[in-house]
Every structure is written in structure tokens, then in C-alpha cells.
Amino acid sequence: MENKVLEIKNFYASYGEEDIIKNINLNIYNKKITAMMGPSGCGKSTLMRCVNRMHELNPNASHKGNIFLNSKDIFKINAILLRRKVGMVFQKPNPFPTMSIYDNVIAGYKLNGIKKSKEEKDYLVEDSLKNAALWEEVKNALHKKGTFLSGGQQQRLCIARALAMKPEILLLDEPTSALDPNSTAFIEELIVNLKKTVSILLVTHNIAQAARVSDYTAFIFLGELIEFGETDKVFTVPQDKRTEEYLTGKFG
């Protein structure tokens, strides 16, 4: 059996009275890419925000059930510590606008008050940018602002920033939806490479993208997990009619 990096058990999440996520049971496996698909508003991003405990920043939010990261209950870990272990990259690239490329990469250490020597910082910046396939493009411009980069480069900078903290899992929330096709192809190739070192949970609207990059696919509809399995099986012989209808474009 594959090693589980994340276990979601009997999990519900709500805003106010309304359950957005209903009784989800899902395992995310080590050094694999799991795509989470479903129509807009089905709860994908809410579930992802629960994994790094951003959901609870909303005063009306509540949850019940369990999420375990490498067998540890995430709700018993200090939320700031947890977010170091759970990297997150959002839909729109969001480098810190006042910071240089160099400072963007190590921003997590600064924000958390973790002191590093100059040599450690230099190594982290170079290593993270190489892992995000950005080093060759920016190595002579590390002290320029991150915002001068193209959209695709900015998204890779955000990936480098997440990787610098050495996360146990990387959450990617529609990381290519704001990018052009060339940048999208580049990021997809990068994601496939990254699974050698980190487990990835990818929320995507793009069915073809899920088919191209993921090892496992979860299909979520109206807050419920309808189907989960190896991507090629889910795509070729879906077990649930709703999965089949979604994959063939009948709704979504």
C-alpha cells in the first residue's frame, strides 16, 4: 500500500449553517499528485483551505471530523507551524510586491522569525529557485522586485517560496488558471518534476490538466466526494454516472 501523507476522515466544513463539505474520506499519498476536480462552488477550495487551516480564519467557519498530516492531527498542531509543513500556492501569482526575488523566496523564514546565516539563505534561495525551474532566468536579477517577472515566472516564484519552507505537502489551488498556455505547460511539467520530492494536492477546473499530471483523482460534487481512484481508471472507467457526465462536459 502507498504511504499516506494526508488522511481526511469523516470531515465536514461549514460557513454559518451551511455544510460546504460533507463527510469526506480521502487519502493523499506520499510523493504523488492528487487532482481534486469538480464544478465551481463544489467545495474543492474550501477543503484545501481546511488542510492548512485557513478556513478557520473566517469567523463563521466551523468543521468536524479529522485531518491527519503524517499521522498527526492538524487541529492539535499550532496553525503557524502547520502552515510551514503545508505549502500553498494560489490561483493568482502573489509575490510580495515590496520584496526582491531573493527576499520573496525566504519570506516564510522572515515572517516566522527564523534566523538563518547568509550562507544558509543563499543556499535556500538558489535551491528553491532551481526546484521551481526559475533559477537560470533570475539568477542575475535576485535583488529586483518579484513583480517585474511575467505571470508564469511569478507563479514559479510563489512555488519556490512555498518549497523553501521544506513542506510535507504542497497545495496548489488552480495554479495555472490565470496563465497563458505556454506558462501553463511549463508549470505542469514543473509539477510533475516536483513529486520526486514533495506530495502534491492540486485543485483544478481543467479536466485535461488533471489527466495529464495527476496520479490520483478525486471528484467532488456539491460538497461530497463522489469518486476517488487512480487517474487513468477514473478517466477511463468512472464508477459513478455523475463523474462520467462531468468528464464528458455535460455539466461543470
One-letter identity of residue 167: P
pLDDT digits (tens, 9 = 90+) for 3-15: 999 999 999 999 9
Q: For the segment 97-135, what is each residue's pLDDT rounded down to a tens digit?
A: 999 999 999 999 998 899 999 999 999 999 999 999 999
pLDDT in tens, 167-212: 999 999 999 998 999 999 999 999 999 999 999 999 998 999 999 9
List the alpha helices (DSSP H) in the chain. Answer: 44-51, 79-85, 101-105, 107-111, 118-131, 135-138, 151-164, 181-194, 207-213, 231-236, 241-247
Residue 144 contacts residue 174 (beta carbons within 8 Å) = no
Domain that holds residue 89: 4-94+167-247
Supply the pLDDT for residue 251. 75
Count structural domains, the chain. 1
Q: Is residue 145 part of a domain?
A: no
Q: Is pLDDT at 56 greater than 80 in this prediction?
A: yes
- Domain assignment present for residue 104? The answer is no
pLDDT of residue 65: 97
Structural domain contains residue 152? no
Question: Would you say residue 203 lies in a domain?
Answer: yes
Answer yes or no: is 124 within a domain. Answer: no
Each residue's pLDDT tens digit, 207-248: 999 999 999 999 999 999 999 999 999 999 999 999 999 999
Per-residue pLDDT tens over the stretch 76-103: 999 999 999 999 999 999 999 999 999 9
Please report where in the chains the cell 492538524 appears, as a residue.
74
Q: Does the residue 20 lie in any domain?
A: yes
Specify the residue for cell string 485543485: 203
Q: What pLDDT is stored for residue 205 in this prediction?
A: 87
What's the confidence (pLDDT) of residue 252?
Answer: 66
Which CATH number covers residue 202?
3.40.50.300
Q: Supply the mean pLDDT for the chain.
A: 95
Distance of CA 156 to the CA centre of its chain: 13
